[in-house]
């Protein structure tokens, strides 16, 4: 007898009326009209069945802190860092935990079941690290939360920065992070990449580096990251996040850079909502979009994923944990409006993001292998059924099912696995796009959480 049988599902390649059989957390069969005994049978009702959404780049230690202690009026990356620096002395572990748990409620309600969060290690107290490790423990039953040791103020620029990062790894943080473009000089930035990659190689850790989050075309730390990845044998374990300077680089240099990234096995995460907001702030006109060269990276064979990055924090006053919103913005900024481009954007928040995180999709991975064994294997592009992923991006995909981890996410948009303790705090649509929403969210967090799993 099967553990789970999902019937009447639409698949991302366009097939409809499909059944998916799951046994021991693995997809064992995908077929139309499959009938078998199962411990649990779910009728998908013709809705889209997909691997869970994954967010490979987020800052959970800062989430839902918008307006604390003040608003980032310029909207720039550097003022956001300054506001966060002003807030850090006022941080309390319990407040950070409660904000993060509230965000995790939002995430599950939208089918987001895996998150990689960077955690600031600049303060020797490591308060954000300890708070996020507690969040990771609490949400483990329903979210895979991966933590990155992130020296926000620069590992070399900050007194004791390397020691703080090493202590964070000792406490159980999963990934080595960095921010080379925020070090004092280009040379120091390159030295930080070398140091951090050596720490990762020494400890057998993954690497996820904030790389070249700037409009400066001469910020080329992604090149150093690719080199160090090869030098240290870290292929497949390293990611460069943002890489926005690539948007401003000349085409000749990029023609050299793309093969270097591809052969090193370094993946790239773009953060469409934040990149289009923070970059180009010093431009008059024309204004640069700022996001890295997603179509070109994909064409070069680089694994590219999309992250949410920020939600209602010093850098970005909006957001709602909806990875379809991220993909939607990504396809606009990268002009990936073809059917193939839309599906690539959908992959960027599902299977590509899972690869970056080295997350075993289990049932989801088996599903995807059977869905798209080769390009063009699905139905004809003129077939209306082939529009399913595009419809999800256009309409928000209110119905979602999750085959990841051998279990389901609920088919309706609202989560039945874990509900928000206060519906008033569940801000969506326009409500998340104003300061009043931020105030209501903070007020909600001050009320007791009656349904929280300890």
Assign residue 225 the CATH number of its domain: 3.20.20.140
Does 33 reside within a domain?
yes
* Omega of the bond leading into 162 within 30 degrees of 0 (cis): no
Alpha-carbon dihedral 219, 220, 225, 226, rounded to 10 degrees: 160
Strand segments (E) across 292-413: 304-306, 401-402
Phi, psi of 250 (to 5 degrees): -75, 155
Q: Which residues in the chain land under pLDDT 70?
A: 361-454
Q: Model confidence over 48-104: pLDDT tens digits?
A: 888 899 999 999 999 999 999 999 999 999 999 999 999 999 999 999 999 999 999
CA–CA separation, 365 and 368 (whole Å): 5
368 and 351 in one domain? Answer: no
Of the candidates 309, 307, 312, the residue with the CA atom closest to the CA atom of residue 330: 307
**423 part of a folded domain:** no
pLDDT of residue 33: 87
Residue 440: its pLDDT value, please? Answer: 47
* pLDDT computed for residue 423 by the predictor: 26
Residue 418 located in a structural domain: no
Tokens of 65: 């802190």
Residues 127 and 274 in one domain: yes
Identify whether 438 is part of a domain.
no
E strand or H helix that includes residue 254: helix 251-264
Within 8 A by CB and 6+ apart from 421, the residues are 105, 444, 447, 448, 449, 450, 451, 452
Largest Cα span, the chain: 65
Strands (E), 61-174: 112-120, 144-150
78 and 203 fall within a common domain: yes
Structure tokens, 16: 């409809």
Give the pairing type, strands 175-178 and 144-150.
Answer: parallel
Give me the number of domains the chain comprises: 2
Say yes or no: 298 and 392 in one domain: no
What is the pLDDT at residue 276? 97
Residue 236: name the closest of 302, 189, 292 by CA: 302
* Within-domain flag for 447: no
Q: Among 79, 213, 325, 410, which one carries the catalytic annotation?
A: 213
Q: What's the rounded Cα separation, in Å, for the pair 29 and 92? A: 49
Expressed as residue numbers, the domain containing 8 is: 2-51+362-406
**Listed residues 323, 340, 356: the one ending a domain:** 356
Q: Which of 330, 356, 382 is the last residue of a domain?
A: 356
Residue 365 has a CB neighbour count (10 Å cut-off) of: 19
| Same-domain check for residues 337 and 375 | no
89: buried, middle or exposed (CB in 10 Å: 19+, 13-18, 0-12)? exposed
Which residues, 6+ apart, have CB-to-CB distance to 328 below 8 Å? 345, 393
Domain annotation covers residue 448: no
Q: For residues 150 and 35, give the distance between their C-alpha atoms in angstroms, rounded to a whole number.
A: 49
Helices (H) and strands (E) in the chain — how many of each? 15, 14
Residue 333 CB neighbour total at 10 angstroms: 19
Residues 372 and 351 in one domain: no
- CATH number, domain of 39, equals 2.30.40
Who contacts 236 (Cβ-Cβ below 8 Å, separation ≥6)? 265
Burial grade of 171 (CB within 10 A; 0-12, 13-18, 19 or more): middle
Q: What pLDDT score does 333 carry? A: 97
DSSP string, 419-450: --S-GGG---GGGGGSHHHHHHHHHHHTS--T
Dihedral pair phi/psi, residue 208, rounded to 5°: -140, 105
Q: Given this model, what pLDDT does residue 188 score?
A: 98
Joined together, the tokens standing for residue 444 give 């909600």
Within-domain flag for 395: yes
Cα torsion 57, 55, 102, 165: sign: negative
**182 lies in the same domain as 203:** yes
Neighbour count for residue 94 (Cβ, 10 Å):
9
DSSP 239: E
CA gyration radius for the chain? 21
How much is the pLDDT for 447? Answer: 53
Round to whole Å and give the CA distance between 184 and 157. 7
- Annotated catalytic, 377? no
> Is there a single domain that holds both residue 195 and residue 163?
yes
CB atoms near residue 236 (< 10 Å): 14
Does the residue 449 lie in any domain?
no
Q: Select from 297, 330, 356 the last residue of a domain.
A: 356
Indicate if 90 and 195 belong to the same structural domain: yes
Question: What pLDDT is recorded for position 445?
Answer: 53
Assessment of whether the complete model's pTM goes beyond 0.75: yes
Three-state SS annotation for 307-323: CCECCCCCCCCCCCCCH
């Amino acid at each position: 007898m099967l553990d789970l049988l999902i019937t009447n599902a639409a698949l991302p390649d366009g097939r409809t009326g499909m059944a998916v059989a799951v046994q021991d957390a693995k997809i064992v069969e995908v077929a139309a009209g499959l009938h078998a005994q199962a411990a649990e049978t779910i009728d998908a009702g013709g809705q889209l069945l997909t691997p869970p959404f994954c967010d490979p780049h987020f800052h959970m230690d800062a989430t839902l802190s918008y307006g604390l202690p003040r608003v980032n009026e310029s909207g720039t990356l550097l003022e956001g860092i300054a506001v966060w620096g002003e807030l850090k002395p006022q941080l309390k572990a319990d407040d950070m935990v409660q904000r993060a748990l509230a965000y995790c409620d939002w995430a599950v309600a939208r089918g987001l079941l895996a998150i990689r969060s960077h955690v600031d290690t600049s303060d020797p107290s490591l308060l954000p690290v300890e708070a996020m490790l507690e969040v990771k423990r609490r949400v483990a039953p329903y979210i895979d939360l991966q933590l990155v040791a992130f020296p926000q103020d620069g590992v070399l620029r900050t007194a004791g920065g390397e020691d703080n990062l090493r202590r964070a790894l000792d406490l159980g943080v999963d990934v080595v992070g960095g921010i080379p473009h925020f070090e004092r000089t280009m040379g120091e930035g390159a030295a930080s990449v070398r140091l951090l990659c050596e720490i990762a190689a020494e400890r057998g850790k993954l690497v996820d580096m904030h790389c070249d989050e700037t409009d400066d075309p001469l910020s080329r730390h992604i090149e150093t990251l690719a080199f160090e990845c090869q030098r240290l044998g870290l292929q497949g374990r390293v990611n460069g996040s943002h890489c926005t300077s690539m948007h401003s680089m000349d085409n000749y240099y990029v023609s050299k850079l793309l093969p270097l990234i591809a052969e090193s096995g370094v993946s790239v995460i773009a953060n469409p909502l934040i990149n289009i907001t923070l970059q180009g702030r010093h431009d008059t006109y024309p204004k640069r979009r700022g996001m890295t060269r997603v179509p070109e990276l994909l064409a070069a064979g680089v694994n590219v994923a999309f992250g949410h990055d920020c939600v209602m924090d010093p850098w970005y006053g909006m957001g709602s944990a909806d990875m379809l919103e991220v993909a939607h913005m990504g396809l606009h900024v990268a002009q990936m409006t073809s059917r193939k481009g839309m599906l690539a954007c959908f992959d960027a928040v599902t299977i590509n993001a899972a690869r970056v995180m080295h997350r075993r999709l289990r049932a989801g991975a088996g599903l995807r292998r059977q869905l798209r064994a080769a390009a063009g294997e699905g139905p004809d592009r003129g077939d209306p059924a082939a529009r399913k992923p595009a419809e999800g991006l256009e309409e928000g995909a209110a119905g979602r099912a999750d085959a990841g981890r051998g279990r389901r996410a609920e088919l309706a948009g609202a989560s039945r696995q874990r509900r928000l303790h206060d519906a008033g705090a569940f801000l969506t649509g326009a409500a998340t796009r104003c300061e009043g929403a931020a105030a209501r969210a903070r007020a909600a967090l001050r009320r007791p959480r009656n349904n929280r799993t300890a």
